[in-house]
Amino acid sequence: MVNPTRDELDAAEGRTVPDVITGDLSVLFCGVNPGLWSAAVGHHFARPGNRFWKSLYLSGFTDRLLTPEEGRELLRSGLGVTNLVDRATRSANELTRAHLREGAERLARKVVRWRPLCVAVLGMSAYRTAFDRPAARLGLQPEDLETAKLWLLPNPSGLQARYQIADIVEQMHELRSYVSNGIRPRAPGGGKP
């Protein structure tokens, strides 16, 4: 992958990155929104230093370290990727409460359409705002999102210093163990944002 130029990064503001999604997913990973780098190259979690792909591999979700350009390979493992907010911004701090709440509603519609067994939101602050759960903690959430179990993971951005890669891998490993133990979908209407 060729690094985008400053002009290409500037032009990426407001762009979207296509979802990696289909039916029969075990886990739909949900980022906050694309950064300019990801929007410029058209792949999720593409900025160098983002720990998503490495964490997936180290936690056992993938059998090799995938690159952002290989994102569609996730589908073979029953995994997918989407975002709460589709449009790229320079910083997630530019997103308002209304943007995040609308994103939670859009995510619920995706769950109804694609029926993943579990949705894993990557980003505690965005999750707390989007789902109006100010005290939410990492891990399995007490409410479902429509028919999917809802899981909260740390944001894998390299800009997030609070969680190191070992912390992210540990949380992803817990999710993988949970999914491997045969979660079952619930009937529609299990829980809404």
d(CA 90, CA 177): 34
Along the chain (193 residues), what's the average pLDDT of each consecutive run of 10 residues? 90 97 96 96 94 97 97 97 96 92 98 97 96 97 96 87 90 95 56 47
pTM: 0.92
pLDDT at 182: 73
Helix-then-strand count for the chain, H and E: 6, 5
On whether the 6-180 domain is CATH 3.40.470.10, my answer is: yes
pLDDT at 191: 47
The alpha carbons of the chain give a radius of gyration, in whole angstroms, of 15
Compute the half-sphere exposure of residue 29: CA atoms within 13 Å on the CB side of its CA: 27
The residue extents of the domains of the chain are 6-180
pLDDT at 188: 46
Q: Are 73 and 61 in contact (CB under 8 A)?
A: no
d(CA 5, CA 171): 34
Give the rounded distance of the alpha carbon of 86 from its chain centre. 12
pLDDT at 92: 82
Q: Are 27 and 118 in contact (CB under 8 A)?
A: yes
d(CA 177, CA 162): 24
